Amino acid sequence: MSSKVFCGIDWAERHHNVAVVDEQGTLLAKRRIGDDLAGFIELVQMLVDAGDSATDPIPVAIETPRGLLVAALRSSGRRVYSINPMAVARYRERITVSRKKSDHADAMVLANILRTDAHLHRVLPQDSELVQAIAVLARAHQDATWRRGRASNELRSLLRELYPVFLNAFADRKGNLTSAEARAVLAIAPTPTVAAKLSRARIAAALRRGGRQRGVDELANELHEALRRPQLHQPPMVESAMGTQALALLATLNVECANVDQLAEAASEAFRQHPDHTIFTSLPGLADVTGARVLAEIGDDRDRFADARALKAYAGSAPVTRASGRSISITHRRVKNDRLAAVGYIWAFVAASHSEPTKQHYQRRREQGDRHAAALRHLFNRLLGQLHHCLQTGQTCDPLKAFGPIGARPRQRPLDR
């Protein structure tokens, strides 16, 4: 790092404290700025007065990787370091034992972190604008998927107390309560009493509104019989009240299902515009939605990860080895990018289900004693290594080269790290 001046920003919701120090740790300037355009102009002027230039911009340390201030700093082309607040708290203990804390002192701590230990912290990656847009859409889709699951579970919990025959009627159908057909039928039959009065024609009409095109009459007959089966009932007034609650929860589920579909389409459309789309989708188990999620988390800055091991550690797929004396333990990582780890489980599961080379790799891990989750994590680890290699070399993935010929038994080798 050629710069001899360092800046720390203690971020807050309405204002930010800024501290600028030199290479000896001497405070050059400090100020509280607002969280607006005027505040950013003040910050830029502070940096210019401290010697900031286009050829040697002053690096900035801040406790968050997102927000308008961070976006503006990254757009200016300077190095921005996102320091974990827990790490900042540990650094604060190096200079004070009284546990006193202030916004200005935290800004000083951040600036001194760069002065002494910048080489130990990562610069925010220089991702393209397209990748940043994909990250917004892919993460929003993932959040909507999680909210849809919570809404579905909440509705299911209510129906268990009110309407178990409805759950049984859709238990073996794709999507269960999140399917458009189940939601359309529940909208016209929120209680067992109402459902028992439904005609086959009304059920068939609801199925068509839910998008059903084939076998409508047959399914309507099945549901007509299933919803009329005898069951226990809540008291009439309680049943009516719970039916109203079910409709309210159904409305929430409908919104989340629509959000998932809309955001999936938007994320997929943006992902298909990226130059690396062909490389990502060449790997077994990755399609547009899952590929967009993976790209959103690793970005397209080729210098972000020094090697494949760094990427695997970031994703949490590489094991952690703890050695002390003659004691050695190998465990899976708990500190990781949770979003990347979540999509990695889906990626490995789909790959092991639909691609023969990856399926054989999964089965070999099971034969060696791995449980299901460990075998999928190991497969995810291998796939990440292959993805890193393909991105660095600009080539698409060939599963037969990556995993060996179908039926071949690979030589034993140490656990992938």
> What was the pLDDT predicted at 393?
93
Q: Which amino acid is it at 220? A: A
Most distant pair of Cα atoms in the chain: their distance: 83
- C-alpha 394/C-alpha 243 separation (Å) is 56
Q: Which amino acid is it at 286? A: L
Q: Which residues contact 60 (CB under 8 A, 6 or more apart)?
A: 7, 8, 9, 73, 78, 79, 80, 81
Contacts 24+ apart (CB under 8 A), 321-325: 321/417
Residues of the chain falling short of pLDDT 50:
1-2, 413-417
Contact 291, 271 (CB under 8 A): yes
> What was the pLDDT predicted at 404?
76
The reported pTM is: 0.86
Which two structure tokens, joined as six digits, stand for 309? Answer: 């091991």
Contact 43, 98 (CB under 8 A): no
- Write the pLDDT tens digit of every residue in 289-330: 999 999 999 999 998 998 999 999 999 998 888 887 788 877
Angle, to 10 degrees, between the axis of helix 129-162 and the axis of helix 288-298? 120
- Centre a 10 Å sphere on the Cβ of residue 217 and count the other Cβ atoms it contains: 12
> What was the pLDDT predicted at 251?
97
| HSE-CB for 354 with a 13 A CA cutoff | 11
- C-alpha 48/C-alpha 56 separation (Å) is 11
> What was the pLDDT predicted at 329?
79
> What was the pLDDT predicted at 255?
97
Which two structure tokens, joined as six digits, stand for 53? Answer: 């230039």
- C-alpha 209/C-alpha 76 separation (Å) is 51
> What was the pLDDT predicted at 101?
78
